[in-house]
Amino acid sequence: MNEQQKTVALEAEVVALRKEVQRLRSRNAELEADRGLPGRLLDALPSLVYVLDLDERRYIYWNREFGELAGGSGGGAAGPLRGDGASSMFHPDDIDRIEEYRARMAAGDSGQQATVEYRARGRDGGWRWFLERGVALDSGPEGSGRRLLGSAHDITARKHTEQMLERSESLLHGFLEYTPSMMVAVDVEGRLLLVNREIESYYRMSREELLGKVVYDLLPPAASASIRKANDETAAAGRPAASEHVLVYPDGPRTYLSTKFPIRDAEGKLYAVGTVSVDISRTKQAEAERAEMQRQLIEMQQATIQELITPLLPLARGVVAMPIVGSVDPARAEQILTTLLEGIASQKAKIAILDITGVKDVDARVARSLVDAARAAGLLGTRVVLTGIKPQIAQTLTTLGADLSGIVTKGTLQSGIAYALGGRRRW
């Protein structure tokens, strides 16, 4: 091989070496990129990720999210938990809990897992809740002590929800324990799902004993049938309804006004019927007493009115007068007769004047009433004087053939009074 050929061969080898170098550089760059991929992935996570040397209490690694909350950047290191550095990000009241958690991890075997909840200061300066899951790792390549890989995610929203649920449960507990009403919920089969203290008191059983039992099996047949019917109707209608029920106590029956309402799950499916029952026994008793008082008052008013519309007036010794005004129905005719006879007896009247000037009409019924009054008065030795007879009334009496024997008739009350007073001189 001459010199020229050797030169060409060497140049070819140089070109091949350059290509190999370029390939190796590209591969090295790829390897460098691959080596940094886990770190980039961890920095992209919204969770807090770190590695802590548990013996030296020194952070070996943290991701960007942790670093930003701690006031640094990703991949940094910090001092001990207490004092400067990342420890300032944790709530003071949670430090002991974190210390205890890390002590357990340091004392455990490699691969041991544990969780802890704590508060850390957020970007806005406020406290946020985190749930951390940790894994104990073996010592590092330099032979350093036990390490902790921790990953924590924000659970502030969940904590807020839990607090709201706890508050709701506390409110419900307060109503259940201290309301004077009965509060109960049963499923579609009638099994008790919720009861309050009033329900426990009625059945004389504890809440633990009652829950799960079928309420219809605990009630007397009549009350059981009534309540089952109301529950079924509420479930079928799917809307609230009110009804009254009677429950028997040792001291007697009590009436309850029950408001029933459907209870649905998150998907809107009805699974229970709730009931709030208020004891209205006193109200019902008061209503009955008011009704009785009203009835008695009406009777007194009617009696007073009857006395006013059928007055018996003493005109002189032995003489009484009763002016009758308006219509005369059977009830009033009876009142007239009673008042007349009682007045005659009390006044020892010899003459009783019945003035019908104000009577609108006289039919057979009124005529018979007047005749009966006269005859009854006659049995007591009293003469009846009928005054105020109008022409049309006289014609009606004649047409009806009313027997007015024993009754003195006068055209006006004045003439009737004159007759009665003149009769007194003949006694």
Q: Which domains are seen in the chain, by residue range?
A: 45-154 (3.30.450.20), 167-283 (3.30.450.20), 301-424 (3.30.750.24)
d(CA 47, CA 155): 11
- Model confidence pLDDT, tens digit, residues 254-277: 999 999 999 999 899 999 999 999
Tell me if 258 sits within 8 A of 279, measured CB to CB: no
d(CA 95, CA 87): 8
Q: Is 228 helix (H, G, I), strand (E, B) or coil?
A: helix
The average pLDDT across 44-66 equals: 87
Tell me if 249 sits within 8 A of 260, measured CB to CB: no
The angle at the Cα of 160, spanning 158 to 163, to the nearest 5 degrees, equals 110
Q: What is the pLDDT of residue 80?
A: 41
The average pLDDT across 343-370 equals: 82
Best mean pLDDT range from 93-97, 249-253, 385-389: 93-97
d(CA 75, CA 292): 89
Position 330 pLDDT exceeds 60: yes
- Model confidence pLDDT, tens digit, residues 25-42: 776 666 565 556 677 787
- Which residues are CB-contacts of 108 (< 8 A; sequence separation ≥ 6)? 114, 136
At 84, is the pLDDT very low, low, confident or very high (cuts 50, 70, 90)? very low
Position 144 pLDDT exceeds 70: no
d(CA 8, CA 336): 157
In terms of pTM, does the model score above 0.85? Answer: no
Following CA atoms 377, 330, 408, 362 in sequence, which dihedral angle do they give, to the nearest 10 degrees? 180
The average pLDDT across 309-333 equals: 82
Q: What is the pLDDT of residue 87?
A: 67
Strands (E), 97-217: 113-121, 127-137, 147-154, 182-187, 192-195
Tell me if 314 sits within 8 A of 347, measured CB to CB: yes
Q: What is the pLDDT of residue 139?
A: 67
Structure tokens at 47: 């969770």
At 328, is the pLDDT very low, low, confident or very high (cuts 50, 70, 90)? confident
